[in-house]
Chain A
Amino acid sequence: MIHEKSEGLSDNTSSPKIAERAEAQVQRFSRLNRVLHISMIISFISLALTGMTLKFSYTGWAFFLSGLFGGFESAGYIHRFAAVIMFIVFITHIIDLVRIKRKEKKSFKEFIFGFDSMLFNRNDWKDFIGSVKWFIGLGKRPEYGRWTYWEKFDYFAVFWGIFIIGSTGLTLWFPEFLTQFVPGWVINVATIIHSDEALLATGFIFTVHFFNTHLRPEKFPMDIVIFSGRVSIEEFKLDRPKEYNEMVEKGELEKYLVEPYPPIVIRTIKIFGWTALTIGFSIIIWIIYAMIFAYR
């Protein structure tokens, strides 16, 4: 939510040479956020794969995948284990937010409505209108800042998803406990919500989110900034001119300049990224197939 200053950056700021070098990169995401995102990807894909086998159990693919996971029973264990990871990611992020707020000694107002807040504000609305105008040829590309509105939407989609899918998931995990307080049909309702919300989440992430961040032509085939955390100044300048300008105005740009990762790290990141993308698209194809050809 907050553009955190990485502690590891202090060394780099003392070296002014970096800014002059062509390959100098801007640090956009903290190490924790990157780790959380990677954890979430692994967790999310695991949840999606294991969950979809159950949702689309009537397809041959489901049977095959279930077998790949060592049968339904172990698929269930994987699903619940991945869910726990997701909860941990979520809680860690909340704790991180609280920590940052305390560290930067911001008021709630600043924290929520500040320039790098993840919450929707007037600027996002302006960006959205500007984007639509740009799309239909009525204006120039808006100068996007630290967070675009579609990134904020994705962010809150996860929030929403974790609440909806997480709560219904727990209901299905502990039905015997929960039915001490609610009638049995709530389990049936929870099943529908869990399953359809999961369909929405996977569908959204693997199509809209993938397009917004990776597949749109200027980023094609993928944007690895969320894994590396850093982007070239050049690209940064063009993609997020507003953020760049603010940094320059504040004279803080130097603080965020870092060395690029060596090629081996980039290659590893790309392999991971390709794997995630491939699995994601496969799931989409599978869902479309199941919905159109095998639905019941």
Chain B
Amino acid sequence: MYLKGSFSEPKKIFIINFFSIFLFLLFTSSLYPQDNSDCLMCHEDNSLTGTRNGKTISVFVNEKKLSSSVHEGVNCISCHVDLEGTDVHDDDVEKAKCNLCHDDIQAKFDKSLHGKALSGGDKLAPACQNCHGSHDIVPIKNLKSKVAPINIPGLCGQCHKEGSPVQLQRNIPQTHILENYSESIHGEGLLKKGLIVTATCVSCHTAHDILSHTDSKSSIARKNIANTCAKCHAEIELVHRKVIKGALWEKEANILPACVDCHQPHKARKVFYDQGMADQDCLDCHSRKNIKASIDGRSLFVDYSGLKDSRHTNISCSQCHSQVSPSHVRPCDSIVQKVDCTSCHAEVGEEYQLSTHGKLKAKNDLNAPVCSECHGTHDVLGKTNPLSSIFPINIPALCAKCHREGESAAVRYKGTEVDIVKNYTESIHGKGLMKSGLTVTATCTGCHTAHRELPHSDSLSSVNPANIPSTCGNCHHGIQEQFEKSIHSTKITQTDKELPTCEDCHTAHKIIRADSEGFKLKIMDQCGRCHQAIAETYFDTYHGKVSQLGYTKTAKCYDCHGAHDIMPVENPVSHLNRKNIVETCKKCHTNANKQFAGYFTHATHHDPEKYPWLFWTFWGMTGLLIFTFVIAGIHTLLWLPRSLQWRRELKRQKSINTDKNDNQEQL
């Protein structure tokens, strides 16, 4: 010791003694736990670094965090046991030991996938602090805790999200775990609604003894799933008893479906699964054929097989009969209203309320059809199902229930259409639908709409004159385009007079083929309803006369004027424009020329102003005719009495002659 020689003897003794005591104290002090402040003397420095496995790491310890952590009051060396008794220590200290206190958890962890991987030296395997942190571990109820429920998906997701090394390199059968979870009913509850009691990763997988689902001890093993789910979903068996049949739930877990068979892991969605208990509860009574309402005695029997095959196969009773009270002995005793379809079919409901049907219903009219009248009740089928009452081919019969002559709606109807159903059936649409099974043809609802039927006088009606071109145009689009450019369209002609629409020529329900004889002959009367004078003169000329004899190959209104694309003659695209008229004539008269087109197709000999030649020719001929008949008539009438006289004279002479002959013969 270099100090010895520089002090006096007594002083030396004192120093030696003092030093000995100091050393003693120093030595003996190592027999007691080191104080945290000892460690913090150095580790308080936030720039202090050390090395581990050759890497430089910060060895700063935030005393404040440490003191507010769950491990407040725990000595550093309680965890960093390898540093006990050391003063200034080297780098590469061992990791803190958790198992000294948490030995039960450590035991579970060691058996888990994580633990085995860790002990196997997997560098991706998590240790305690990967999840829990180190010096800053806060209580689990503290939302800042890394393992607080709300943080769990994020925490697990660090390694199990899509694209992470664990997800890429380790054999994990599920994919998109984090995304699926966050969209599931659990994930949405947790992440969007902050429901911290909902299931997180650890609720199902447990926190520390995470095992593969193939491991029979795993919380997600097939036979344990039910228990795992039941931790939250107590008595879930009751809900599922239709499928599970109660007792079989656990006994024969291997052959029965497990929760995850229906509710896929991570994806457990907010969808309604197959009928739950409610249906079975309802059917306990309603499957009895003789069940009747106590009020009016109507049958309350529900044909479950019909429901099962129906469009609502995935809808449970209570979704429609929504006023049920599950807590009641008779859950249905709280039902006071009929089924309201609009709770799901809201838009359709709005349309219906606008319709004549809906308006009648609002007035509580007994004849008003409600949803079920057309669609049925429990056995409701989609419109693409041929068995459905609203399958196109069945629609006429459906509407006919009320709209056939003599039925409730037909009696109420005061308009001009008669025999609607019969006429439709014989129409081109009706034949197409009923005879040829052409389901895309126009049915009742094709024109009148399915839910917003209104009288044609209503401006909102699909069959209002203003809307008819677009209604027919739904199918006959090309015609609509032509028509809306023609003089008959309200878009082109502004007039107080009523302009024709499709049904004025084609009729509403009797619609026949435009190339049929009947239509061709009738169309002239149709045009003549408005164009009276011109139609009359048409019948005075060749084309008209011939048409009247039932000959259809001759020119009719639309052959010259066009059918849907009628334009004023001055319009260059008009069929009768100077430039086009010869071509129009040529459709029938192949050798037509310009002078030929000068033939008056609407001429009359009664108009001396417009057609002087015809007028004077007619009267000239009539004059000749009258003159001839007057002269000949007078001649004949004068002749008649004399002729009678002459007849008698001839007879007399004849008898004389005969007598003469007789006499001669006698002689």
- A182 interface residue (CB < 8 Å to B): yes
> Known interface pairs A179-B595, A184-B597, A184-B598. Does A192 touch B614 (Cβ–Cβ under 8 Å)?
yes
Q: How many residues on the A side are at the interface (Cβ–Cβ under 8 A)?
A: 55
- A72 interface residue (CB < 8 Å to B): yes
Binding stretch for chain B, among A35-43, A211-219, A247-255: A211-219
> Known interface pairs A135-B642, A176-B589. Does A185 touch B598 (Cβ–Cβ under 8 Å)?
yes
List B574-596 residues whose CB lies under 8 Å from chain A.
589-593, 595-596
Q: Which residues of B contact A134 (CB under 8 A)?
A: 642
- B233 interface residue (CB < 8 Å to A): no
B546 nearest CB neighbor, chain A only: A72
Binding stretch for chain A, among B235-243, B377-385, B499-507, B537-545: B537-545
**B82-114 vs A: 1/0 string, CB under 8 Å?**
000000000000000000000000000000000
Compute how far the CA of A75 lies from the CA of B636 in the bound complex, rounded to whole angstroms: 34
Q: Which of the residues B621, B635, B639 comes within 8 Å of A196, measured between beta carbons? A: B621
* A250 shortest CB reach to chain B, Å: 23
- A135 and B546 contacting across the interface, CB-CB below 8 Å: no
- A268 interface residue (CB < 8 Å to B): no
- B550 and A72 contacting across the interface, CB-CB below 8 Å: yes
Compute how far the CA of A218 lies from the CA of B644 in the bound complex, rounded to whole angstroms: 7
- B661 interface residue (CB < 8 Å to A): yes
Compute how far the CA of A248 lies from the CA of B539 in the bound complex, rounded to whole angstroms: 61
Compute how far the CA of A184 lies from the CA of B590 in the bound complex, rounded to whole angstroms: 16
Which one of B536, B553, B632, B633 has the greatest number of beta carbons of chain A within 10 Å?
Answer: B632
> Known interface pairs A141-B642, A199-B625. Does A57 touch B598 (Cβ–Cβ under 8 Å)?
no
Compute how far the CA of A208 lies from the CA of B640 in the bound complex, rounded to whole angstroms: 12
* B310 shortest CB reach to chain A, Å: 57
Compute how far the CA of A184 lies from the CA of B596 in the bound complex, rounded to whole angstroms: 5
- A2 interface residue (CB < 8 Å to B): no
Q: Which residues of B contact A180 (CB under 8 A)?
A: 593, 595
Binding stretch for chain A, among B178-186, B220-228, B390-398, B647-655: B647-655
Q: Which residues of B contact A184 (CB under 8 A)?
A: 595-600
Q: Which of the residues B549, B613, B650 comes within 8 Å of A63, measured between beta carbons? A: B549
- B596 and A179 contacting across the interface, CB-CB below 8 Å: yes
- A47 interface residue (CB < 8 Å to B): no
Prevailing SS type, chain A contact patch: helix
- B24 interface residue (CB < 8 Å to A): no
Q: Which of the residues B590, B613, B638 comes within 8 Å of A188, measured between beta carbons? A: B613
- A189 and B614 contacting across the interface, CB-CB below 8 Å: yes
Q: Which of the residues B539, B605, B650 comes within 8 Å of A192, measured between beta carbons? A: B605
- B595 and A53 contacting across the interface, CB-CB below 8 Å: no
Compute how far the CA of A80 lies from the CA of B655 in the bound complex, rounded to whole angstroms: 50
- B7 interface residue (CB < 8 Å to A): no
**A136-163 vs B: 1/0 string, CB under 8 Å?**
1000010000000010000000000000
- B643 and A188 contacting across the interface, CB-CB below 8 Å: no
A65 nearest CB neighbor, chain B only: B549
List B610-667 residues whose CB lies under 8 Å from chain A.
611, 613-614, 617-618, 621-622, 624-625, 628-629, 632-633, 635-636, 638-640, 642-644, 646-647, 650, 653-654, 657, 661
- A187 interface residue (CB < 8 Å to B): yes
Compute how far the CA of A235 lies from the CA of B592 in the bound complex, rounded to whole angstroms: 59
Q: Which residues of A contact B621 (CB under 8 A)?
A: 192-193, 196-197, 200
Compute how far the CA of A192 lies from the CA of B536 in the bound complex, rounded to whole angstroms: 17
Q: Which of the residues B546, B553, B596, B603 comes within 8 Å of A57, measured between beta carbons? A: B546
* A101 shortest CB reach to chain B, Å: 31
Q: Which residues of A contact B638 (CB under 8 A)?
A: 132, 135-136
- A185 and B599 contacting across the interface, CB-CB below 8 Å: yes
Q: Which residues of A contact B611 (CB under 8 A)?
A: 185, 188
- A177 interface residue (CB < 8 Å to B): yes
* B23 shortest CB reach to chain A, Å: 143
- A218 and B599 contacting across the interface, CB-CB below 8 Å: no
**A119-138 vs B: 1/0 string, CB under 8 Å?**
00000000000011011100
Q: Which residues of A contact B650 (CB under 8 A)?
A: 218, 235, 238
Q: Which of the residues A131, A150, A188, A235 comes within 8 Å of B614, measured between beta carbons? A: A188
> Known interface pairs A72-B550, A217-B643. Does A200 touch B591 (Cβ–Cβ under 8 Å)?
no
- B319 interface residue (CB < 8 Å to A): no
- B22 interface residue (CB < 8 Å to A): no
Compute how far the CA of A58 lies from the CA of B291 in the bound complex, rounded to whole angstroms: 70
- A204 interface residue (CB < 8 Å to B): yes
* B589 shortest CB reach to chain A, Å: 5
- B632 and A53 contacting across the interface, CB-CB below 8 Å: no
> Known interface pairs A72-B550, A217-B647. Does A191 touch B613 (Cβ–Cβ under 8 Å)?
no
- A62 and B600 contacting across the interface, CB-CB below 8 Å: no
> Known interface pairs A192-B618, A234-B654. Does A216 touch B589 (Cβ–Cβ under 8 Å)?
no
Q: Which residues of A contact B629 (CB under 8 A)?
A: 203-204, 207-208
- A262 interface residue (CB < 8 Å to B): no
- B367 interface residue (CB < 8 Å to A): no
- A234 and B657 contacting across the interface, CB-CB below 8 Å: yes
Q: Which of the residues A55, A188, A200 comes within 8 Å of B628, measured between beta carbons? A: A200
* B595 shortest CB reach to chain A, Å: 4
Which one of B548, B550, B622, B633 has the greatest number of beta carbons of chain A within 10 Å?
Answer: B548
- A54 interface residue (CB < 8 Å to B): yes
- A58 and B600 contacting across the interface, CB-CB below 8 Å: no
Compute how far the CA of A179 lies from the CA of B649 in the bound complex, rounded to whole angstroms: 59
Q: Which residues of B contact A207 (CB under 8 A)?
A: 629, 632, 636
Q: Which of the residues A135, A175, A218 comes within 8 Å of B596, measured between beta carbons? A: A175
- A114 interface residue (CB < 8 Å to B): no
Compute how far the CA of A145 lies from the CA of B51 in the bound complex, rounded to whole angstroms: 160
> Known interface pairs A135-B639, A192-B605. Does A57 touch B548 (Cβ–Cβ under 8 Å)?
yes
> Known interface pairs A22-B661, A184-B600. Does A217 touch B593 (Cβ–Cβ under 8 Å)?
no
Q: Which residues of A contact B632 (CB under 8 A)?
A: 204, 207-208
- A16 interface residue (CB < 8 Å to B): no
* B68 shortest CB reach to chain A, Å: 110
- B643 and A54 contacting across the interface, CB-CB below 8 Å: no
- A66 interface residue (CB < 8 Å to B): yes
- B551 interface residue (CB < 8 Å to A): yes
Q: Which of the residues B548, B550, B644, B661 comes within 8 Å of A71, measured between beta carbons? A: B550
> Known interface pairs A22-B661, A135-B638, A182-B595. Does A189 touch B613 (Cβ–Cβ under 8 Å)?
yes
A141 nearest CB neighbor, chain B only: B646
Q: Which residues of A contact B605 (CB under 8 A)?
A: 192
Q: Which residues of B contact A179 (CB under 8 A)?
A: 593, 595-596, 598-599
A208 nearest CB neighbor, chain B only: B632
Q: Which of the residues A71, A135, A208, A216 comes within 8 Å of B551, measured between beta carbons? A: A71
Q: Which of the residues A62, A196, A220 comes within 8 Å of B625, measured between beta carbons? A: A196
> Known interface pairs A183-B595, A196-B622. Does A54 touch B546 (Cβ–Cβ under 8 Å)?
yes
* B563 shortest CB reach to chain A, Å: 23
* A207 shortest CB reach to chain B, Å: 8
B591 nearest CB neighbor, chain A only: A176
* A225 shortest CB reach to chain B, Å: 15
A200 nearest CB neighbor, chain B only: B625
Compute how far the CA of A216 lies from the CA of B536 in the bound complex, rounded to whole angstroms: 42
Q: Which residues of B contact A196 (CB under 8 A)?
A: 618, 621-622, 624-625
- A8 interface residue (CB < 8 Å to B): no
* B601 shortest CB reach to chain A, Å: 9
* A208 shortest CB reach to chain B, Å: 4
Q: Which residues of A contact B593 (CB under 8 A)?
A: 176, 179-180
List B380-425 residues whose CB lies under 8 Å from chain A.
none
B661 nearest CB neighbor, chain A only: A22
List B460-481 residues whose CB lies under 8 Å from chain A.
none
Q: Which residues of B contact A57 (CB under 8 A)?
A: 539, 544-546, 548-549
State the B residues within 8 Å of A (CB). Answer: 536, 539-542, 544-546, 548-551, 553, 589-593, 595-600, 603, 605, 611, 613-614, 617-618, 621-622, 624-625, 628-629, 632-633, 635-636, 638-640, 642-644, 646-647, 650, 653-654, 657, 661
Cross-chain pairs A/B with CB under 8 angstroms, 5 sampled? A57-B546, A58-B539, A73-B551, A216-B640, A218-B650
Other contacts beyond A189-B617, A208-B636, A296-B540: 9, CB < 8 A: A54-B546, A62-B549, A75-B549, A135-B638, A184-B595, A185-B600, A192-B614, A207-B632, A238-B650
